[in-house]
């Protein structure tokens, strides 16, 4: 079945540091890929998405590129802010159109 694997956390960075959060997936066919973010005390919200190979999703300074050859969708940001502290979930929507989520990773950014 479909699965999403995220790097182990938590991650703690200083403000303005570079961020990479790894995500790899297993799926049949051509899934759509997503990053969702969960701020403290809130529900998840869509951060960015990509629907086909080599697409780059971007939002709020975050980027992720759909790499079919490596089955990856790594999240990057050049300069993180304290307000980026949250839990980040990688997810895919496969042949059944249902979302499969990774375990999530907690990011803490210190001033």
Size of the site for another protein (CB under 8 A): 24
Q: Are 64 and 35 in contact (CB under 8 A)?
A: yes
Is 86 an interacting residue with respect to another protein (CB under 8 A)? no
Q: Which of 14, 51, 59, 83 binds another protein (CB under 8 A)?
A: 51
| Rounded Cα gap, residues 85 and 42, in angstroms | 13
SS3 assignment, position 12: strand
Tell me: cis bond preceding 10? Omega within 30 of 0 counts: yes
Is 12 an interacting residue with respect to another protein (CB under 8 A)? no
Instruction: Note the residues at the interface with another protein (CB under 8 A).
Output: 4, 31-32, 34, 41-46, 49, 51, 89, 91, 93-94, 97-104
């Amino acid at each position: 079945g479909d699965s999403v694997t995220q790097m182990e956390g938590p991650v703690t960075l200083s403000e303005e540091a570079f961020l990479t959060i790894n995500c790899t997936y297993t799926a049949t066919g051509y899934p759509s890929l997503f990053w969702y973010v969960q701020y403290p005390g809130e529900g998840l919200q869509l951060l960015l998405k990509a629907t086909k190979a080599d697409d780059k999703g971007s939002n709020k300074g975050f980027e992720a590129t759909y790499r079919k050859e490596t089955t990856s969708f790594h999240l990057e940001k050049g300069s993180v802010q304290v307000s980026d502290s949250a839990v980040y979930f990688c997810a895919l929507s496969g042949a059944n159109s249902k979302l499969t989520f990774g375990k999530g990773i907690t990011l803490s950014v210190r001033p």
